[in-house]
Amino acid sequence: MPDRATVDQLSCGSSAAAAPFPSGGSPGLQVTDLLMTAERMMPALSRCIASRDWLDAFLLSAGLLQLVEDRMHDDPLQLRRAAVYLRSRSSPPRHWAGTLAETAATGGRLLERPSTTAALTAARRATARLTLQLAAAVQGPRHRVDRAGIDRMLTGVVQVPTLVGDDVVRIPACFRDFDLHPDDMDWLGRKLLAERVLEAEPTCVVGVRTSGSYLAPLLVASLRARGVRHVELLTHRPGQRWRRFERNVLRAIGSAGGTVVIVDDPPVTGRSVAATADAVTAAGVPAARVVLALPLAAETDTVPPFLRGRPSVVQPRSALTVHRHLDTDHVAGELARLRPRWRVDACRRRAEPTGPAPRGHLSGRYSVDVTDRVTGRPERIDLVVEGAGSGYLGRRAVAVAEQLPDWVPQVFGFSDGLLYRAGLPQLPGPVDEATYADRVAGYLAARRTRLPAAEDLTPRLSGRGPAWEVVARELSRLFGPLAPVAQATVVGPLVSALLRSPRPSVVDGATMSRTWYTDPSRPGAVLTVDFHEGAFSHLETYSYDPVSDLAAALGTAPSATLARRLRASYSRFTGDEVDDERWLLYRLAQAFHALRAGEVDPARAGDLCADAVHEYLAGHYLAAAPPPTSGAPLCAVDLDGVLETDRLGYPAAGPAGVLALAALRTHGYAPVLATGRSLGDVRDRCAAFGLVGGVAEYGAAVYDARDGTVEDLRSTEERLLLERVRSGLGQAGYDVDTRHRYCVRARLNGRRLPEDAVLAVPLLTDPRLHVVHGQSQTDVTVGRLDKAEGLRALALRLDGAEVVLAVGDSAADLPMLSMARIARAPHNADAAVRAAGVRLTRRAYRLGLLDACADLLGHAPGRCPACRPPSAAERAGAILTLLALHDGGVRTVPAQSLRVAVRGARDIVDSLRGRQPPAYRGGRVDHRPLRG
């Protein structure tokens, strides 16, 4: 077992040492941080070759090959990525911009120094030769392994670290997230020959990077071992252009009538594989001679629809090697080898393999009877055998478990890509929030101490989905068509600075409540079973900050009290405060992660993001605002187009809107909501902003936030009528929003219903109903109810308070505007409001709400000592400026963009001078909405 110093060195990301396996079994490289540079990989590769650890040596060599080939097709400014995005848009200006970006990327390659090109080509050739030799060694007895030749070849790759610099290796999903085994490529090689698709030589195997950098050499080795003499190796990342030597290889294959085989990990849509096949065809190989060789995640032999019609040879999931390794006899034999002190008397499978899980792993659960050879004591073991990854990519689970013995189940060993660990029962019922918060915080504190990282590598992962890039991409939506430019030049650097971890460590990546279990053998212990799954998976938003795990622990149904408890517990265990900006940004990143992992739908992901934004704004503007008193005058505010916009891709408030609510509360008024949105939205906004209540779904439902009661203003007959409409629209094929329960909201392909919808649902013409056509939906409401009726009912519940101010922007707001002492509409109001003679504010949207409040208060919100917002730290000022981009619609975008750009420029200048960027300092700025 490695001593503490060795383990700490490995935990810091140094992969230069091989640690012996802790619980028996063959030795192997053991690391906790899988993101490595070539400089760290080279010593590990040398040691693995010296110890004849062929699998780990192959994985490291294939990683070096991937680094070299990515550097050969480098796109440091993400110009090709921007070109693909822009040219996929329908507008001519964007298409022209995409063409310009593509031209610039091509021009950048022409400026490359010939000596650099030659050095990269030579390094690529040497690394590919070494990788192919190691692939042959991995596949075993069928191959003649030239060990002396491998040692000589190693000297040819020593220049790779110098050529690729600080580039970080990409982790192959095939051998990390899916249960592929090197033998599976041999299976595909046999099938390719058995189906006689390679009768005409020469042959070229093209791997779709990243997984293809690992799978293609194994397939080449298999074909060569079975007599296919002329087999070339290439890889391709969709969207790249072929280098000259690659194009020459493909042209030669096409001219000779040979075959190109494309290999990748199990496809989901198949778009990447199809893009590579099209690129091969464009290089001169006939489509009929391009064959797909793919393992599948399904039991069928059918490729995804996007790949159908292309020649293919597939390996169904049932044929994967992992199934043999999960066989009961194999498991019993491996457990006996991993734990020599045990005699395995019986092994029974308790459950069939589950999966594929979201990350593709299979598992099996077994009841094993063992006898201790020393004491003679019999014992029954609840054993779980689950996929973890091949070689050091999977053995990482053991490295992590060694450092966290008090937080993870007992680990028996690792073999053939499978982790052998103790099974645990589920938690006995729900756990209270305080206990859960302490459990998570204690675990993350232990990880931070025992699994430190040498450095935070995420700033180098542009284009690969680190947490900062995911959040920057989402926030860049505020810039509309200029989003890619804004992300690269302003928003990305800003968010990266805000999320820079002061004390980086290897995160868990899967801390949600469903991963925690009890251990009967350790009273009071609560353990996590996904300690090795989340981090470094293809679904992860990369981070080295434990706060990202803390945000993930909120789950997909967060509560404000749990959020506070998690942050408080983390601060108590670590001594570090979780600032509001990091908390907001990581919550946004986790919402995207949940969407990508299929845990939530887009609507729910938007709700999670809106909750995070609202909690952040409320903490800044509303913390000091007193709650409304009983009988306080009411100020009715519409949501869409007044308090909230959807520029982020989901409806959310902005700084100016929340400042307006704070000013009203400070001066003794009670802001309430009056909207056509769902009761759930009203309830969430009341909780976030401390409102006393609201009117939902066009006056059909009244919500009293003081006691959480809901009043349904519809009659029984009207409720039954709306249910018939709901059923009719659903049967007619329209999308009916299940969140609206007191009116009916429906769409057709994300748009409002067509005029002929009444032909399918004649009930829409019933005179008791009112149909409201919005921009992206159609609402069906009770004709006699409106926002004014709802406000009257709410006012009665709130001790008969008077409605002194109403702010709305659409025809549905006219009844409530007519009942208020002061009625205002922001400058973006629709034609019906303008025609009714409602007084318009000078500015639009949330700034218009500020103007309306100024007419009531006698001064602009935030401009008097009582309602002036607190000065913001530099970090907060950066976020507030960004969120305020559309507070007044497109008119405020230039000025706010200039503010954001100035902050970004200051960050860059300070970074060049070696100072912390302003976004990370503790200075304070005055942040109030623009006057103009």
pLDDT at 489 over 80: yes
- Per DSSP, the three-state class of 727 is helix
Pair 388, 397: CB distance under 8 Å:
yes
Pair 280, 249: CB distance under 8 Å:
no
Residue 791 C-beta-side C-alpha neighbours within 13 Å:
31
Would you place residue 27 in the very low, low, confident or very high pLDDT band (cuts 50, 70, 90)? low
Residue 736 pairs in a beta bridge with: 746
Query: What is the pLDDT, as a whole number, of residue 367?
Result: 94
Tell me how crowded residue 762 is: count the other CB atoms within 10 A of its CB: 10
Q: Which of 868, 856, 864 is nearest to 822 (CA)?
A: 856
Share of the chain above pLDDT 70, in %: 86
Query: What is the pLDDT, as a whole number, of residue 931?
Result: 46
Query: What is the pLDDT, as a whole number, of residue 523?
Result: 67
CB burial of 582-592 (b: ≥16 within 10 Å; e: otherwise) equals: bbbbbbbbbbb
Mean pLDDT of 68-86: 66
Q: Which of 634, 650, 709, 703 is nearest to 675 (CA)?
A: 703
Inter-axis angle of helices 602-621 and 580-596, to 10 degrees? Answer: 170
Would you place residue 204 in the very low, low, confident or very high pLDDT band (cuts 50, 70, 90)? very high
Measured CA to CA, the distance from residue 508 to residue 80 in angstroms comes to 33
pLDDT at 597 over 90: no
Pair 176, 393: CB distance under 8 Å:
yes
More confident residue, 178 or 84: 178
Measured CA to CA, the distance from residue 271 to residue 282 in angstroms comes to 16
Would you place residue 355 in the very low, low, confident or very high pLDDT band (cuts 50, 70, 90)? very low
Share of the chain above pLDDT 90, in %: 61
The one-character DSSP state at 887 is T
Would you place residue 308 in the very low, low, confident or very high pLDDT band (cuts 50, 70, 90)? confident
For residue 696, what are its two tokens? 């939902």
Query: What is the pLDDT, as a whole number, of residue 536?
Result: 86
Query: What is the pLDDT, as a whole number, of residue 2?
Result: 31
Would you place residue 7 in the very low, low, confident or very high pLDDT band (cuts 50, 70, 90)? very low
Residue 562 C-beta-side C-alpha neighbours within 13 Å:
19
Measured CA to CA, the distance from residue 481 to residue 774 in angstroms comes to 24
- How does DSSP assign 800-839, residue by residue? T--EEEEE--SGGGHHHHHHSSEEEB-TT--HHHHHTTPP
More confident residue, 905 or 491: 491
**Of the listed ranges 237-251, 452-466, 510-524, 694-708, the one predicted with least confidence:** 510-524
- Which helix (H) or strand (E) segment holds residue 563: the answer is helix 560-574
The one-character DSSP state at 859 is S
511: CB partners within 8 A, 6+ apart: 440, 443, 444, 528, 534, 549, 550, 552, 553
Backbone angles phi, psi at 824, to 5 degrees: -135, 150
Measured CA to CA, the distance from residue 491 to residue 469 in angstroms comes to 9
pLDDT at 18 over 70: no
Query: What is the pLDDT, as a whole number, of residue 675?
Result: 96
pLDDT at 919 over 80: no
More confident residue, 723 or 9: 723
pLDDT at 820 over 90: yes
The one-character DSSP state at 264 is -
Residue 710 pairs in a beta bridge with: 703
Mean pLDDT of 180-188: 94
More confident residue, 301 or 363: 363
Mean pLDDT of 698-724: 96
Would you give the distance in Å from CA 630 to the centre of its chain? 44
Query: What is the pLDDT, as a whole number, of residue 34?
Result: 94
Measured CA to CA, the distance from residue 84 to residue 89 in angstroms comes to 9
Whether the CA torsion 441, 446, 448, 451 is positive or negative: it is negative
Measured CA to CA, the distance from residue 9 to residue 140 in angstroms comes to 32
pLDDT at 4 over 60: no
Query: What is the pLDDT, as a whole number, of residue 20?
Result: 33
Mean pLDDT is highest, among 20-34, 40-54, 897-911, for 40-54
Pair 778, 726: CB distance under 8 Å:
no
For residue 454, what are its two tokens? 């040498």
Pair 420, 413: CB distance under 8 Å:
yes
Query: What is the pLDDT, as a whole number, of residue 816?
Result: 96
Locus of tokens 């990091």: 582
Q: Which of 672, 678, 684 is nearest to 636 (CA)?
A: 672
pLDDT at 364 over 70: yes
Would you place residue 428 in the very low, low, confident or very high pLDDT band (cuts 50, 70, 90)? low
What rounded mean pLDDT belongs to the chain? 86
Query: What is the pLDDT, as a whole number, of residue 24?
Result: 38
For residue 355, what are its two tokens? 């999966």
Would you place residue 892 in the very low, low, confident or very high pLDDT band (cuts 50, 70, 90)? confident
pTM of this structure: 0.88
Mean pLDDT of 680-694: 96
Query: What is the pLDDT, as a whole number, of residue 529?
Result: 82
Query: What is the pLDDT, as a whole number, of residue 821?
Result: 96
pLDDT at 703 over 90: yes
More confident residue, 605 or 514: 605
What are 272-284's pLDDT values in tens digits? 999 999 999 999 9
Measured CA to CA, the distance from residue 619 to residue 616 in angstroms comes to 5
Measured CA to CA, the distance from residue 454 to residue 235 in angstroms comes to 31
The one-character DSSP state at 640 is B
pLDDT at 403 over 90: yes
